[in-house]
Structure 1
Amino acid sequence: MAAEALTDAILSVDLPKAGLLSIVGARIIGRLDLSAREIPKVIRFRGCYFDDEVDLKYTDARSISFALSSISRLNLAATSIHGNLLLDEADIRDGVTLYGGSLSGSLSCKGAKIACRDWYALDASLCNIGGALLCGENFHAEGGVSIARAHVGGDVNFNSAQLTGHKNRPALSGQDTKIDGQINLSYSSSSGGVDLRDSRIGGNVECVETVLRNKAKVTLDASGARISGRLDAARIDADGGIILRACEVDALTMAAGRIHNDGGGAVELSDIQTGRSIDLRNVNILGHVTLVDGNVGRDLILSGARLKGGRSNVSVYAEGLSTRGGIYLTRSFESSGGLDFDNARIGGSFYGTKAIVRTNGGTALSLRGTVIGGDLELQSANLTGDITGRACDVGRAVILDQIEVASRKPPALNLPGLKVGSDFSASKAVIDGGISLAGASISGEASFIESEVKGIGDLPSLSLDRGELKGQLSFAHAKLHGQIRLHGAHIHAVLSFDNTVLTCPRKKKGEEIVALIMRHMIVDESVYAQFAEIGGAMDLIDARVGAWRDVKDAWPEVIAVVGFKYNAITGSPKVTIKDRLEWCNRNKPSFALQPFEQLAQVCRASGNEEDARKIGIEMQRLLRNHNKSEIRKLVTVPWSFTLRVLIGYGYKPWRIVVPFVIFAIIGTIIFSTLHADGHITTVPGPRKLDFNSFRYTVDLLFPVALLGQRGNFVVDSVAAWFSFFFTVTGWFLTYIFIAGLAGIFKRA
C-alpha cells in the first residue's frame, strides 16, 4: 500500500468519532505523513512494515499502536495523544521522537527494538505522559532513551531492558524529570550511563542486579534528585562511577554490588540526605567512596564490604558526615585505602570489629574532630597505617582489644585530646608505631593489659601528657618498647605497671635513657611500679601519688625523685630503710634533700621514728659531702664523720654517752697510774681527801661537774697535759651534745 493512499484512507474513511481503524500485516511504501492533522479515531497498526518515516508531529490523535511493526523512523514531536501509544515488540530502525509531546495514557515499548545513529533511540524529552512508561521485557534502545524534563504520571519500567548510548550521550537521560511513580531498572543493562540528575521520583528507584557500563566515567548520576522511596541497587554491577551528590532518598542499598571506577570516585554520596540507612554491605568497590557532609537517617553499613581506593590512597571520604545511627565496618570488612571520617557526627556507635584496612604508608582511619555518640569498637581489627583522631569525642567506650596497628608514620594510634565517656580498652593489642593520648580525658578506666606497643626510633611508645582518667590506668603484663610519657597527667584511681616490660632504644654512650616520665603527674591512689623489667631511668619530679609500691629488683640506675610526694611507700621483696635510702640516692646527676625529707615525713606519719632518724642522718652526711672541693673535703669529711658518729647530726644525741664513757674509763686508768707514780698529789692543808681516779676524770670531762676533785689535787707537768686534754675533750663533747639537742647541725 502506498503511503499517500493510506493517508487518504485514514482521513477519508467514514467511521464514527472515536472509532477504530486497524491495519494488520500491511507493507507501507513511502513516507506516511499525518503531521499537523486531527485524527479522532483509534489507529492500530499490527505487524505492519513501513519502508520510510511515519510522521505524526503536531498531530492531535487518540490512541495509536504500532505493535509488532517495523518502521524506519517514527516522529511524534509535539503530538497530543488522548490515550495510549503502544510500540510493543516494534522494530524502529532510526529512532522515535516524542519531544514535547503529550499522552494522556501510557507509552508502552515492551520488547521493542529501537535504534538511532545520530540521536536518542527514544526521545521523550519534555513529554507529558499521564500514565506509565513501560520499556521492559527485553526492550532494546541502541542510541539510548531520553525522558529529560519530562513528566510521567505513573511508573517508569526498564526492567530487563538493554540501553546503549552513543557519542557521549547517556543510555538513559532523565535529567530534571518528574516521575510520580517508581522507576525500575532492575535486571537491565546500560552502556553509556543513566542520568537522573535533579529528577523528582515519587516512589522507589529499583536497580536490582542492574548492569551499568561506562568505563572511567559515570554510570549512574542522580545528583540533586529527590526520591520519595528507596534506591535499591542490590547486586548492581557497574563499570564506572555512581553519583548521588545532594540526593534526597528514603533509603539506599547497594548490598553485594560490584562498582569499579579505577579512574576516580566509584560512589559519590556527598551531601546526600536519607531518611533511613545506607546499606553497602558485601559491596565490592574499586575507587573511592565519598560521603562528605552527608546526612544519614539511620545507619551506614559497610559490613563485609571490599573497598579499594584505586589510584587514591583513601577508600572512604566521609568528612562532615552525620548519621543518627551507627557505622558498621564488621564481618571482615576490608579496605585497601584509608577511611576518612574527620568531623563526622555519629549518633550511634562506630563498629570496626575484625576490619582490615591497608594503606601505602598513609592514615588507615581518620577521626579528627569526630563525635561518636556510642562506642568506638575496633576489636580484633588489623590496620596498616595510623589511626588519627585529634579532639575525637566518644560518648561511651573505646574498645581496641586485640587490635593490630602498624604504621610507618608515628604515632600509630594518634588520639590527642580524645574524650571518652566510659572506658578505654586496648588489651592484648599489638601497636607498632606508638600511642599518643596527650590531653585525653577518659571518664572510666584505661587498660593496656598484655599489649605490645613499640615506638619508632626515639619517639615514645605511649604518651598521656596532661591527660585525665577518672578510673585506673593499667599496663599489667604489657610489653612496651619506647618511653612512656605521663607528664602532668591526672589518674583518679590506680596506676599499675604490674609485670610490665619497658625497654628503650639504645643511645650514644653517656646519654641517659629515660624510660618513664611521670613529672608533675597526680595519682590519687596507688602506683604499682612493679616492673618485670625497665630499661631506663624514671622521672618522678614533682609527681604526687597516694602510695608508691615497687619492686627492688626492677629499680633503674637513675630515679629522678626531686619534688616527688607520696603518702605511703612499700616495696617487694622486703625493702629496708637502707634500701630505700639507696633508692633516694639514685636521684642523679643532681643532689637534693627533698627525697630524703619526703621519705622521713612518711616514716614519721606511720610512727616509724627510728627510720626517720636514719634518713635524717644520711641526709646530713650527703649534704656535707656534696659539691665540696678536694681541699675543703680534708676538713668537712672528718668533721661530718665526727658529727655522725657522736650525735648522728643531732638526730641521735644520746650517742654522745658512748665517748663520755670511753674517755671516763681511759681517764680512770691513766690518772690512777699517774697518782700512783706521784704525778698527782693532794693539796697541802687540814683536809685530806682520798684520790679517786674515776671521779677525777668525770670532774674533768663534765664542765658543770662539782665533784671536788680538781681543786684538791695538784698535778705536775706530765699529769697537767692529760688533765688539759680531758678538760678540752669534755668541753668539746658537751658542746657537741648541746648543739645537737638544739638542732644546730641539722642543715636545711
Structure 2
Amino acid sequence: MLSYDELTSPERELWDAFPEGRRVDLRTGVPEDDRVAEGGQWGPGRTVRAALIMALLLGANTTQPGAVACLRLAGARISGRLNLAGARISHALWLADCWFEESVDLLGASTQTLVITGSRVPGIEANSARVEGNLDLRRSFVESLDSSPFNHRSTALALSDARVTGGVLLSGAEISAPGGWAVAAGGLVMEGGFFCNGGFVARGEVRLLGAQLPGGLFMRGARLEGPDARGVALALDNAVASTINLSDGFTANGTVRLRGARISDDLTFAGAVLNGPPDGHGPTLAAVRMQAVDFDLTLARPPSGPVDLRGAQVSYLHDNEHSWPDVVELDGFGYGSIKMAEAGERPGTVVQRDSVARRVAWIRRSPGYNPQPYEQLASCYRKAGHDDDARRVLLAKQRHRRRTLPAAARAWGHLLDATVGYGYRPWLAGVWLLALTLLGTLSFGARTPHPVGQGAGAPFQPLVYTLDLLIPIGGLGQRTAWYWPDAGLQWLAYLLITFGWVLTTAVIAGVTRTLQKN
C-alpha cells in the first residue's frame, strides 16, 4: 500500500480531498494543453497512479465525519491499471477529461455511481458488475480490450450480465472495437434508461441480447458501424424494453436485429438511415417475431437491403415512401392498422383508399406467394370499414396464387377472373348475366321451338325462356315446356344453364359478402 510520503504532489492533493468529496482539477485551462487525445504526453504534475485511486476507493483514507467521501478528479493522466475486479466500493467515482494508460477492470465489482466523462479509456471490463446508480461515460472514447475472458472477440465496453439501478449514459461517446464488439451487454439488467443520443458512435457490434431495459433504449442521431462486411451493427435479440428510439438521423452501417424483442410501447425509426451490411448481403432490418405496440418505420431514405418482419406483431404501423426496399419478408407479420406519411406530410396520416394498389405492390415484394399478408391487409381494411378495398386485396391474392398453379388450373383461374372476378366482383357477374340474357333473347326469338307435350300451355316468350335457363333455382315454366329441334340452339340452352349456375352463385356470394362482413 502506498504511504503518504511516497505520493506525488497531485496524488497528495487527491488524497486530502477525498474524505470531503472535493474535486481535484489538474487541467491548465489552455485548450491546446488539455486535449485528452494528447494525454499520453502529460507529465508528472498531471499524473496519478491507478493504485492510489484503488486504495482510496477501498477505504485507504478515513472518511471525515459530516462529509460524504467521493473521488473527484479531472484532467489527469492515470498510470497503471485500475483493477477493481470483485471489489465492493462504497464511494462514487467521478473522473473527467482523464487519459488512462490501461483498461479499467470492474469484473464482478459492486460500486456506486461511476462517472468517466470526456476521457480516453483503453477498454472497460464490467461483466457481472453491479452499479448502484448511473454508469456515465458521456463524451468518452473507449477503445477495445486486447482480450476478454468471456469471448474470442475484442470488446471495448463489456457489460454482460451486469446490473445497473440507474441509467447507462453514453451520449456523445465513441466506443471503438473494429472487427469486434463495441458494446457487449448480453443479459444486462437495468432500472433506468440506456442513452446513446446525438454524437454517439460505435465501431463494432452493439450487443444487447436479452437485455432488460424498462427505461428504454435511446439512440437518436447515433451512428453504428458494423464490425465487418456482413456484420450486425445492433443486436437486440430477445431484449425487453419499454421503448426503443432509433430516430432523428440514426444511422446503421450493418444489420439492425430485433429477433424476438418485446417492446411494450414505441419502436421508432423516424428519420433513420438503414444502410445494412456493406457487402449488400443479409437483411438491413431483421425483426423476426418482434412485438411492439407502435412501430414507426418512416425512414429518411429506403433501406439498402431486405427488411425481414416474419412473425412480427404490432398494433400500429407507420410508414412512408422510403420505408420499404425491393425485398420485404411479410409472412406472419400482423398489425392492427397502417398509417401512411405522404411526402411533405407529417407522420400519422391515415392510409387512403386509393393506396390499395401500392399496398398490394408492397406485399408482392415478399419472395414467393404467401396468403397471410393478403389476408392481414384485407382484415385491416375491413376493420376500417373499407370492404371494397378488402375485396380488391383478396382478388389480388387470387391472382398472385394463380401464378403458382399448373397450366390447366391457371386457365380455369383466368376464366373465373374474367367472368366473376373470383367472386369478389359481383357486379361483373351481373354484367355477364345481362349480356347472356340479351344473347338468349335474340337467339331464341328468331325461331319457334316445339312444345314438349300436346295441349294448351304458356305461349313461348324468348326473354322468359332465357331467364328460366339462367336462373338455376325455381322455374318459370318455359324450360320444361319447349325444346329445340335445332342442335345449335339446344347447345346454347345448355351453355346458358351452365353459366347460370356459375354466375348466379357468384352474385349470391357477392351480395352475402356485402351484407355480412367477414
Query: 2: distance between equivalents of 1:351 and 1:210?
Result: 24
Q: Report the equivalent of 2:392.
A: 614
- Contact 1:528–1:548 under 8 Å retained in 2: yes
SS at match of 1:498: coil
Of the three residues 451, 457, 468, the one matched with 2:222 is 451
Structure 2 Cα separation of the partners of residues 416 and 652 of structure 1: 54
Task: Name the % identity.
Answer: 24
State the match for 2:139 in structure 1.
Answer: 380
From 42, 54, 58, give the equivalent of 1:291: 54
Quick one: distance in 2 between partners of 1:409 and 1:715? Answer: 86
Instruction: Please give the secondary structure, in 1, of the residue aligned with 2:78.
Output: strand
The CA deviation at 1:529 is: 0.6
Match of 2:306 in 1: 537
- The one of the two structures with greater contact order (alpha-carbon pairs below 8 A, sep at least 6) is 2
Instruction: Give the equivalent residue in structure 2 for 1:602.
Output: 380
Q: 1:489 to 1:706 in 2, by over 3 A?
A: closer
Q: How much has 1:426 moved relative to structure 2?
A: 0.7
Work out whether residues 260 and 288 of structure 2, in 8 Å CA contact, stay in contact via their aligned partners in 1: yes
Return the offset for 1:727.
Answer: 3.1
Query: Alpha-carbon deviations, 1:441-465, whole Å to 9, x = none?
Result: 1221321111111111122111111
Q: Residue 686 and residue 593 in structure 1: after superposition, are their counterparts in 2 closer, same or farther (change >3 A)?
A: closer
Alignment of 1:630-669 (within 5 A): 632-633=406-407, 635-653=408-426, 655-669=428-442
> Relative to structure 1, is the Cα distance of residues 616 and 208 closer, same or farther in structure 2, using a 3 angstrom cutoff?
closer
Give the secondary-structure state (helix, strand or coil) at the position aligned to 1:582.
helix
2:297·2:320 contact (CA, 8 Å) conserved in 1?
yes
2:181 aligned to which of 411, 416, 440: 411
- Structure 2 counterpart of 1:616, one-letter code: L
* Cα pair 1:233 1:255 within 8 Å, conserved: no
What's the counterpart of residue 515 of structure 1?
284
Structure 1 pair 640/350, CA: closer, same or farther in 2 (3 Å)? same
Q: Is the 8 A contact 2:23 2:74 kept in 1?
A: no
Distance 1:210 1:706 in 2: 114
Aligned partner of 2:82: which letter?
V
Give, in angstroms, the shift of residue 195 of structure 1.
Answer: 9.3
Please name the residue that 2:295 is paired with: 527
* Equivalent of residue 72 in structure 2, options 284, 301, 305: 301
- Counting matched residue pairs gives 461
Match of 2:208 in 1: 437
Matches within 5 A, 1:321-336: 321-330=87-96, 332-336=97-101
- Distance in 1 (alpha carbons) for counterparts of 2:114 and 2:420: 69
2:330–2:373 CA contact under 8 A, matched in 1? yes
Point out the structure with the larger strand share: 1
In structure 1, runs of 5+ residues without a counterpart are 1-193, 197-204, 212-231, 237-248, 258-280, 310-314, 744-748
Q: 1:502 offset after TM fit, Å?
A: 0.5
Which range moves more in the overlay, 432-441 or 644-653? 644-653
Instruction: Supply the AA of the counterpart residue of 1:435.
Output: V
Deviation for aligned residue 1:467: 1.0
What is the alpha-carbon distance in structure 1 between the residues aligned to residue 499 and residue 438 of structure 2? Answer: 14
In structure 2, the residue matched to 1:351 is 115
What whole-Å deviation, never above 9, does each CA across 1:71-111 have from its counterpart, x for those lacking one? xxxxxxxxxxxxxxxxxxxxxxxxxxxxxxxxxxxxxxxxx
* Structure 2 counterparts to residues 178-193 of structure 1, below 5 A: none
- Residue 656 (structure 1) shift: 2.4
Is the 2:315–2:337 Cα contact (8 Å) retained in structure 1? yes
SS at match of 2:401: helix
Q: List per-residue Cα deviations over 1:501-558 (Å, max 9, x = no partner).
A: 00123447xxx531111112111x2110111231111111221212111113331122
CA distance in 1, matches of 2:166, 2:219: 18
Shift of 1:471: 3.6
- Counterpart CA distance in 2 for 1:256 and 1:572 is 51
TM-score of the superposition, structure 1-length normalised? 0.56
The 1:406/1:209 distance shift into structure 2, 3 A limit, reads closer
Question: For the structure 1 residues 470 and 739, does the alpha-carbon distance in structure 2 shift closer, same or farther, using more than 3 Å as the test?
Answer: closer
**Equivalent position SS for 1:536:** coil
Residues 642 and 335 of structure 1: CA distance in aligned 2, closer, same or farther (over 3 Å)? same
Stretches of structure 2 that go unaligned for 5 or more consecutive residues are 27-43, 64-68, 145-155, 343-350, 514-518
C-alpha separation between the residues in 1 aligned to 2:282 and 2:307? Answer: 9
Q: What corresponds to 2:147 in structure 1? A: none
Deviation of 1:289 (Å):
6.9
Partner SS for 1:434: strand
2: CA distance, partners of 1:471 / 1:687? 84
Query: Residue 393 and residue 702 in structure 1: after superposition, are their counterparts in 2 closer, same or farther (change >3 A)?
Result: same
Map 1:104-183; keep pairs closer than 5 Å. none
Write the distance in 1 (CA, Å) between the matches of 2:104 and 2:469. Answer: 93
Contact 2:471 2:500 in 1 (8 A): yes
2:246, 2:272 within 8 Å by CA — same for their partners in 1?
A: no
Deviation at 1:661, TM superposition (A): 0.9
Q: Which residue of 2 aligns with 1:267?
A: none
- The 1:450/1:515 distance shift into structure 2, 3 A limit, reads same
Which SS does the other structure have where 1:614 is aligned? helix
AA partner of residue 715 (structure 1):
W
Task: Indicate the residue corresponding to 1:390 in structure 2.
Answer: 160
- The alpha-carbon distance between structure 1 residues 433 and 697, as it changes in their structure 2 partners (threshold 3 A), is same
Change (3 A) 1:292 1:559: farther
2:273 and 2:299 in contact (8 A); partners too:
yes
What is the alpha-carbon root mean square deviation over aligned residues?
Answer: 3.5
Contact 1:455–1:481 (8 Å) recurs in 2: yes
1:641-678 Cα distance to aligned partner (Å, 9 max, x none): 23334444344545422211110112222223x32xxx
Look up the equivalent residue of 1:354 and give its one-letter code.
G
1:338 corresponds in structure 2 to 103
Are the counterparts in 2 of residues 291 and 321 from structure 1 also a CA contact under 8 Å?
Answer: no
Residue equivalent to 2:484: 715
Aligned AA for 1:368?
N
Equivalent position of 2:334 in the other structure: 565
3-state SS of paired residue (1:233): helix
Q: Which of 495, 505, 510 is the equivalent residue of 2:267?
A: 495
Q: For residues 518 and 195 of structure 1, do their structure 2 counterparts lie closer, same or farther at Cα, with a shift above 3 Å needed?
A: closer
Could you list the per-position Cα deviations for residues 395-453 of structure 1 after superposition, in whole angstroms to 9, with x for gaps in the alignment?
Answer: 11221111122222422122222222222111111222131111111221321111111
Contact 2:21/2:71 (CA < 8 Å) preserved in 1? no
Partner residue, 1:99: none
Distance 1:252 1:723 in 2: 104
1:327·1:350 contact (CA, 8 Å) conserved in 2?
yes
Aligned equivalent of 2:347 = none
- How far 1:621 moved relative to its partner? 3.2
Q: Distance in 2 between matches of 1:389 and 1:282?
A: 33
TM-score by length of 2: 0.79
Between the aligned partners of 1:333 and 1:250, the Cα distance in structure 2 is: 21
Q: Which has the larger radius of gyration?
A: 1
Give SS of 2:142's match.
Answer: strand
1:740 is displaced (CA, Å) by: 7.7
Corresponding residue number in structure 2 for 1:233: 12
Which structure carries more helix by proportion? 2
Are 2:441 and 2:462, in contact at CA under 8 Å, matched by a contact in 1? Answer: yes
